[in-house]
Structure 1
Amino acid sequence: MAQPDPLLEVLVDLTNDTETGEIGITVSAHGTLVTGTLVPSHVYARGVKDVLRTASNFTDPSQEGYDALFRHMEEQVRAKRDARQANVDAEDGEEFTPPKYIHLKNAVAVFGTGIPEGANNWWRARLESIDTWAIGSMSNKQSPVIDSQ
């Protein structure tokens, strides 16, 4: 497997260290172009949990496992982030452990010449599967014109 881009690892790590940090990003994963908003992993876990809760009948005891799974994931990620921040604050010099996954919200795969629109699409991929990436997400909204004069 290819090694993840170290700059992308740092960007994902910095985003994971925030409570609600977000940044538009476009990535190519094994030839598929995906555009969306990079979010912290705990935001991803909460978002997927909310989608599953909406799509499923969580009053049915057989569906409670989904809610518990993503709630647990969200809590673990927050605890890890808080522990690492405590180590940084105490200047313990903890070695950088790169993240393994990238998490996007409002993610859409881009095919052909059209730029699709989407909302509430949560996407997760291993960082080592990202071939290329760019800051900024694609959309049908016109970008502001910058006068270079």
Structure 2
Amino acid sequence: MLDPMLNGGSAQVNWAEPDAVLGTYVAQMDRLTEPVDPGVPLSLNVHGLLVSGELIPQWQWFAEVSELNDHEDAFYVGTAEHVKEQSDLAHDAVKIRDTGGEVTHRQYTALMTPTRYIHLRNARVHSPGLHSGDGGSLWRGRLADVSGWTPGTTTLIED
């Protein structure tokens, strides 16, 4: 294969794709089979806002959302249950795969779904002139919307 940089061509970069390093980091977290507490501290730049919190596995995020019990909307509950089921299939497939067992087609499909979202617990959204409060919340965002990130959480001084 020819190297476009050495042959006078230009490298093709798709800026709509998420950061591969962050994607790998999140994908590895999603493959964990035990809950994490605390999660891995991260700070993200998302459309000019700073979002900081603890990275947790997708399945754990859905499990914690399902335990909130503050959503009475039937559509929300049904959707959350469906997505949690898919997450549970992938979670079970990881456990089975790691012990040398065979996964079902549904588990394999759920396991092979590309990582497209990042899941934070105790998340805080920081914006100029906006105080996000003392507590954090569960936050889910598209990896493709993250334009920058750093390990650790960032504390802003409120004016």
Aligned to 2:47: 30
| 2:25 is the alignment partner of 1:8 | no
Q: 1:125 and 1:84, CA in 2 relative to 1: closer, same or farther beyond 3 A?
A: same
Q: TM-score, normalised by structure 1?
A: 0.70
Percentage of matched positions with identical amino acids: 26
Aligned-residue RMSD, C-alpha: 3.1
Q: TM-score, normalised by structure 2?
A: 0.66
On the 8 A contact 1:38/1:104 being kept in 2, the answer is yes
Unaligned runs of 5+ in 2: 1-14, 103-107
Aligned to 1:48: 65
| Structure number with bigger Rg | 2
| 2:35 is the alignment partner of 1:20 | yes
Equivalent residue of 1:122, what SS? strand
Unaligned runs of 5+ in 1: 57-62, 141-149
On the 8 A contact 2:71/2:77 being kept in 1, the answer is no
Partner letter of residue 20 of structure 1?
A: P
| 2:152 is the alignment partner of 1:136 | yes
Q: 1:47 and 1:96, CA in 2 relative to 1: closer, same or farther beyond 3 A?
A: closer
Q: CA deviation at 1:73?
A: 1.9
On the 8 A contact 1:42/1:73 being kept in 2, the answer is no
Residue of 68, 92, 96 corresponding to 1:82:
92
Aligned length: 132
